[in-house]
Structure 1
Amino acid sequence: MIKPAEFYLSGGRAGVLLIHGLTGTPTEMRFVGNGLNRAGFSVLGMQLAGHCGDEADLLATGWRDWTASVSAAADRLRAQVDHLFVAGLSMGAVLALKLAIDRPHDVDGLGLYGTTFFHDGWATPAIGRLAFLLPLITSLGFGRDRVSEEVEPYGIKDERIRNRIVGAMLSGDSHAAGLAGFPWPSLAQFQRLSLHVRNRLGRVRAPCLVAHSSHDDVASLRNVRVVERGVNAPVETLLLDNSYHMVTVDQERGKLIERSAAFFRHVAEQNPAELPRGAAVATAID
């Protein structure tokens, strides 16, 4: 069943599952979804557990709930396609890696956009850089009511898009733009997920397209190197020089879409026996 904030775009028998980031929304994946659909892919822009509501909704979930919602969405799309690709932004990229670790026979390839294991970009506030301590801090009962507010430039270099998204976010429209800050307990859950995946990157067998801003304000290129050195799979890296962290909505999203479509198509073509016969189109996910 499609959740209120999700979108499904019917296309061919190769599908892409799109995963948004922490406190985010499927809207941040919509440009990429539309572009991949125009390139012939079926696309499901999923909604993570606890997201697109208020802070209490998010705090009621943790990283295992988020991974379970990704797995459930993958089941829904996998039933419609012959090839399943998974692409995520920021924490969504970490969740995509987690799915590939858990279900290597189901995931044909990965799109890792602004992968965030470490909050170490040039605009990251001090608490973000010390986020690795949050699992300990929150487990001791401290900071459970604290929130790390998002700061300029909000991951977006394009001022027009930034003003539109930030305006919706600060107005409280979490359905369209997500929450305006990161609750410390949720950041602690993010850190637990990050450590879990980093320790298992060698189990990733799916080819990876790693797309990252050269000037990422949230996550430095150190995160790219972690993927390149850690996974046991071919890696293609795309560095974007005119964007910030939110590469799926920023100024070079067209280049991101083009490279993603070409990468996924190439991977699918390596298994011609599994390609669709004729022009079959996936039915809607209900």
Structure 2
Amino acid sequence: MKAPPFPTAQNSDHTVLLLHGLSSSPLEMRFLARFLADEGFATHTPELTGYSAGTGHQPMEQWINAAVAQFDALAAQYRHVSVCGLSMGATLAAAVVQRRPAARALLLLSITLDYDGWAIPWYLFMFDCLYYTPLRSRYRYREHEPYGLRNEALRAKIARAMQKNEISEVGPASISMAALHEARRLAASMRNTLKGITADCLIVHAIDDETSSPHNARFVESNVEASFLRTIWLDDSYHMITSDNEREVVARECALFLRESEATSAASSNPTPVVSRALARRLRQLATVAGKA
């Protein structure tokens, strides 16, 4: 479960565990990791056995266990550990925080609890049935345009990369039926347990997401029990918001939210009474009278 050599801040007490999308690679999180490092956060972008591209197949319970193990290793080194995920990685991030409520913050980018976007083929619902047939080991769902990208120049670049390789900076060229089956299991389990999440929560979602519709973000918004919750809607991106037109907006909002979460934590640890000016003046008057008595 190695992490790629992306830049990370030195001497930081706050690290962010970054989880990429299904059957993909940490390259999806590269821009965000670099931005957060520049903002003073340590970052960790691991490959997870059975979940990341080229690491074999494991049931979704093993995905969660692997990600939780990464969180625990970071928690032993850093004061604050936040978890951020993209697409199915966001769903996995929510599963980690549900099991590790000590997480400082949870950042959900294009969370996918249901594959219900406008570019998803109508027959996807049949995959769970086909999984129990001999097709399970042979069929792969091939990615197609727009590849999660509204940016046409980047989309053309990714299309060429998909023809040459099985993996690109925005994800795999194809996904196995077994991986999709486990992803749908993970999403179903999280839909029922979101109310157990109390960590500070940021949701960032594109209104034109072609893979997971805005319903996914609204469902999370309505069901998590975070006391500090913020939802950001994007209008110039598709699903891959860490690479698309508004990637700088996404990175900036993530850094801002993490800073505010830190500040909230510090304030709760050292509460300062809020006193109005009128009350403060009255208290001083009373103290003066008492001193003369």
Per-residue displacement from partner, 1:61-114 (whole Å, max 9, x unpaired)?
221221122112212322232111111000000011001111112x11111000
* Secondary structure of the structure 1 residue equivalent to 2:97: helix
C-alpha displacement at 1:225, in angstroms? 1.3
**How far apart, CA to CA, are the structure 1 residues paired with 2:265 and 2:75?**
16
Partner Cα distance (1:166, 1:62) in 2:
30
C-alpha displacement of 1:48: 2.4
Confirm whether residue 83 of structure 1 aligns to residue 85 of structure 2. no
Query: Which digits, 9 at most, give the CA deviation of each residue in 1:227-280, with x for residues without a partner?
Result: 0111111321100000000001111011111111111111111222899xxxxx
The answer (yes or no) to whether the contact 1:52–1:178 under 8 Å persists in 2 is: no
Structure 2 letter corresponding to 1:180? A
Distance 1:51 1:172 in 2: 18
Question: Structure 2 CA distance, aligned partners of 1:188 and 1:32?
Answer: 28
Q: Residues 107 and 254 of structure 2 are in contact (CA less than 8 Å); yes or no, is this contact kept in structure 1?
A: yes
User: AA paired with 1:271?
Assistant: S
Unaligned runs of 5+ in 2: 270-293
Amino acid paired to 1:219: S
Report the CA distance shift for 1:154/1:227 in structure 2 as closer, same or farther (over 3 A). same
Where does 1:1-16 land on structure 2 (aligned, <5 Å)? 2-3=2-3, 5=4, 7=6, 9-11=8-10, 12-16=12-16
Where in structure 2 are the equivalents of 1:129-278 lying within 5 Å? 130=125, 133-172=126-165, 174=167, 178-233=171-226, 234-272=228-266
For the 8 Å contact 1:82–1:274, the answer to whether it is kept is no
Q: Counterparts of 1:24-103 in structure 2 under 5 Å?
A: 24-50=24-50, 53-54=53-54, 57-58=55-56, 60-103=57-100
User: Aligned-pair RMSD on alpha carbons?
Assistant: 2.2
* Separation in structure 2 between the aligned mates of residue 194 and residue 252 of structure 1, nearest angstrom: 26
**Aligned pairs, number:** 267
TM-score (norm 2): 0.84
Task: Report the CA distance shift for 1:92/1:53 in structure 2 as closer, same or farther (over 3 A).
Answer: closer
Q: Distance in 2 between matches of 1:52 and 1:226?
A: 26
Greater RCO (CA < 8 Å, at least 6 residues apart): 1
Q: Distance in 1 between matches of 2:101 and 2:71?
A: 12
1:139-167 Cα distance to aligned partner (Å, 9 max, x none): 35554321111111000111232233343
Identical amino acids, percent of aligned pairs: 33
Larger radius of gyration, structure 1 or 2?
2
**Where in structure 1 are there 5+ consecutive unaligned residues?**
276-286
When normalised by structure 1's length, the TM-score is 0.86
Distance 2:268 2:198 in 1: 18
Q: 1:27/1:87 Cα in 2 relative to 1: closer, same or farther (>3 Å)? A: same
Q: Tell me the CA shift for residue 176 of structure 1.
A: 5.2
CA distance in 1, matches of 2:134, 2:222: 36
